[in-house]
């Protein structure tokens, strides 16, 4: 069964470094755009149900900022998802008739209670957009994991990258999330920010640890073409004019990363993927399975899907997305039929991001060939240089080189 990703393409405002598809609310004209989104999504769910005949194995609602939706919007979204992906395998509790008291007056109202159960169901959220009511709705429909975009605990750095929140808003968000009954929380943090040094980075990590998240994701800032931050730093990282806050270069980023890895591992987190750390048993199963090669269906404008060797991306325009789907057409922009060789390479590149590595046996079962034969030359070089190792029948990246993994992995392409 594939995992399900749902993209909510709205944010309060655009962050200075962001290249994801999302529309700042100031650019959402009237209710038209939100209407386009919901109408499009309802039609896309209908058209895509055939792709998930047995339901879905995980749900991840991302964005954008899902919690920027009003409570009614959030509830509408969740209702659509639970009724659209109930499947036959009982992964969702099913459409049970539940008697819910209508205030003790004239009998009972019959109401359908549906929620995601037994699968990992995550929603992204951002500080400053969370309310007790929205959290109650998320819980009501079975969302039990929140991924919070904290990014930094320095108010100055948060301002520098155009976030809407400050450190106090993160603490308040975590307080509300815990009060709302969520016992599985991820915090996203970024390093290599303009003006960030080792000390402010360490303070952010320590502050995050004090909040006791079950999971942490650490991302290095990268300058994405066309973003305000890339325009502010045309010379790139490490080459800052004296009037601008210093933008850490690759070496400084690597030092920050290494310090954080040591600190989090000492605090009991398992470093299970290049950027991801979890308390035992709290790994993000949705992403973990994708890195292991499981299919996923993406819904919403800009979402990517990979199913049965075919990859496609939806159009990054919410109005056109809605219009296409209202006309009964899928809003596809790129469709790629992956060759077997491409699928093998991708399996390696994703699997090597994981500390568990790539199972030689699993690879052989899936593709009928030994990866040591297919990638003989690259492997010989990298095994000799000790960038990679084979232990317990798994091919693994040497943890020492994990921060530079991307450059190493490209050699398999």
Token couple for 118: 């037994």
Q: What is the Cα–Cα distance from 241 to 220, expressed in whole angstroms?
A: 21
Q: How far is the CB of 90 from ligand SF4 (least distance, A)?
A: 34
Closest CB to ligand SF4 among residues 14, 364: 14
Q: Does residue 149 touch ligand SF4 according to CB under 6 A? A: yes
# of chain residues touching ligand SF4 (CB under 6 A): 11
Furthest CA-CA distance within the chain: 78
Q: What is the Cα–Cα distance from 63 to 145, expressed in whole angstroms?
A: 15
Q: How far is the CB of 344 from ligand SF4 (least distance, A)?
A: 32
Q: Does residue 78 touch ligand SF4 according to CB under 6 A? A: no
Residue in this structure with the two tokens 């075919």, named with its chain if needed: 310
Closest CB to ligand SF4 among residues 163, 396: 163
Q: How far is the CB of 64 from ligand SF4 (least distance, A)?
A: 5
- Non-local (6+) Cβ contacts of 293 within 8 A are 346, 347, 350, 351, 366
Q: Does residue 322 touch ligand SF4 according to CB under 6 A? A: no
> Using the rule CB under 6 A, which residue among 2, 55, 64, 351 binds ligand SF4?
64
> Using the rule CB under 6 A, which residue among 57, 58, 123, 126 binds ligand SF4?
126
Instruction: Judge residue 115's burial from the number of C-beta atoms within 10 Å of its C-beta, 0-12 exposed, 13-18 middle, 19 or more buried.
Output: middle
Show the DSSP H helices in 328-370 as ranges.
340-351, 360-367
CA distances for 330 relative to 6, 194, 280, 301, 303, angstroms: 15, 40, 40, 11, 12
Token couple for 403: 């921060």
Among the candidate windows 9-17, 275-283, 293-301, 335-343, which touches ligand SF4 by CB under 6 A? Answer: 9-17
> Using the rule CB under 6 A, which residue among 52, 57, 58, 65 binds ligand SF4?
65
Among the candidate windows 31-39, 61-69, 102-110, 343-351, which touches ligand SF4 by CB under 6 A? Answer: 61-69
From residue 15 to residue 34, the character string flagging contacts with ligand SF4 as x (rule: CB under 6 A) and all else as - is x--x-x-x------------
Instruction: Judge residue 110's burial from the number of C-beta atoms within 10 Å of its C-beta, 0-12 exposed, 13-18 middle, 19 or more buried.
Output: exposed
Q: How far is the CB of 25 from ligand SF4 (least distance, A)?
A: 10
- Non-local (6+) Cβ contacts of 147 within 8 A are 62, 122, 123, 124, 125, 185, 186, 188, 215, 217, 284
- Cβ atoms of 108 and 100 within 8 Å: the answer is yes
Closest CB to ligand SF4 among residues 162, 195: 162
Closest CB to ligand SF4 among residues 165, 347: 165
Rounded to 5°, angle at Cα 386 from 380 and 390: 70
Q: How far is the CB of 386 from ligand SF4 (least distance, A)?
A: 37
Residues 204-263 that bind ligand SF4 (CB under 6 A): none
Closest CB to ligand SF4 among residues 20, 38: 20
Q: Which residues contact ligand SF4 by CB under 6 A?
A: 11, 14-15, 18, 20, 22, 63-65, 126, 149
């Amino acid at each position: 069964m594939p995992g399900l990703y749902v993209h909510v393409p709205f944010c309060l405002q655009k962050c200075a470094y962001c290249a994801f598809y999302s529309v700042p609310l100031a650019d959402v004209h009237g209710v038209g755009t939100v209407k386009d989104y919901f109408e499009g999504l309802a039609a896309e769910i209908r058209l895509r149900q055939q792709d998930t005949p047995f339901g879905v194995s995980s749900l991840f609602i991302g964005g954008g900022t899902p919690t920027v939706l009003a409570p009614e919007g959030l509830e509408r979204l969740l209702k659509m998802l639970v009724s659209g992906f109930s499947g036959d395998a009982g992964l969702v509790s099913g459409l049970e008739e539940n008697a819910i008291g209508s205030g003790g007056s004239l009998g009972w109202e019959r109401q359908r209670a549906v929620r995601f159960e037994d699968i990992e169901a995550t929603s992204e959220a951002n500080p400053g957009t969370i309310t007790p009511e929205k959290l109650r709705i998320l819980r009501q429909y079975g969302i039990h994991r929140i991924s919070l975009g904290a990014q930094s605990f320095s108010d100055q750095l948060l301002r520098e990258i155009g976030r809407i929140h400050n450190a106090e808003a993160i603490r308040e968000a975590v307080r509300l999330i815990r009060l709302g009954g969520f016992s599985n929380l991820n915090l996203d943090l970024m390093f290599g920010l303009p003006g960030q040094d080792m000390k402010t980075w360490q303070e952010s990590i320590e502050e995050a640890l004090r909040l006791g998240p079950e999971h942490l994701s650490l991302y290095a800032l990268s300058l994405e073409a066309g973003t305000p931050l890339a325009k502010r730093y045309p010379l790139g990282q490490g080459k800052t004019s004296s009037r601008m806050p210093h933008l850490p270069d690759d070496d400084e980023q690597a030092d920050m990363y290494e310090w954080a890895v040591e600190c989090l591992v000492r605090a009991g987190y398992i470093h299970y993927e290049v950027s991801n750390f979890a308390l035992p048993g709290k790994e993000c199963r949705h992403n973990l399975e994708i890195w292991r090669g499981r299919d996923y269906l993406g819904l919403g404008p800009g979402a990517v899907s990979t199913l049965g060797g075919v990859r496609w991306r939806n159009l990054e325009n919410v109005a056109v997305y809605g219009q296409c789907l209202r006309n009964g057409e899928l809003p596809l922009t790129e469709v790629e039929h992956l060759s077997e060789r491409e699928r093998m390479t991708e399996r390696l590149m994703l699997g090597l991001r994981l500390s568990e590595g790539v199972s030689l046996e699993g690879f052989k079962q899936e593709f009928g060939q030994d990866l040591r034969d297919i990638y003989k030359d690259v492997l010989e070089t990298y095994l000799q240089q000790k960038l990679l190792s084979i232990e317990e029948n798994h091919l693994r990246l040497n943890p020492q080189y994990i921060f530079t993994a991307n450059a190493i992995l490209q050699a398999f392409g």
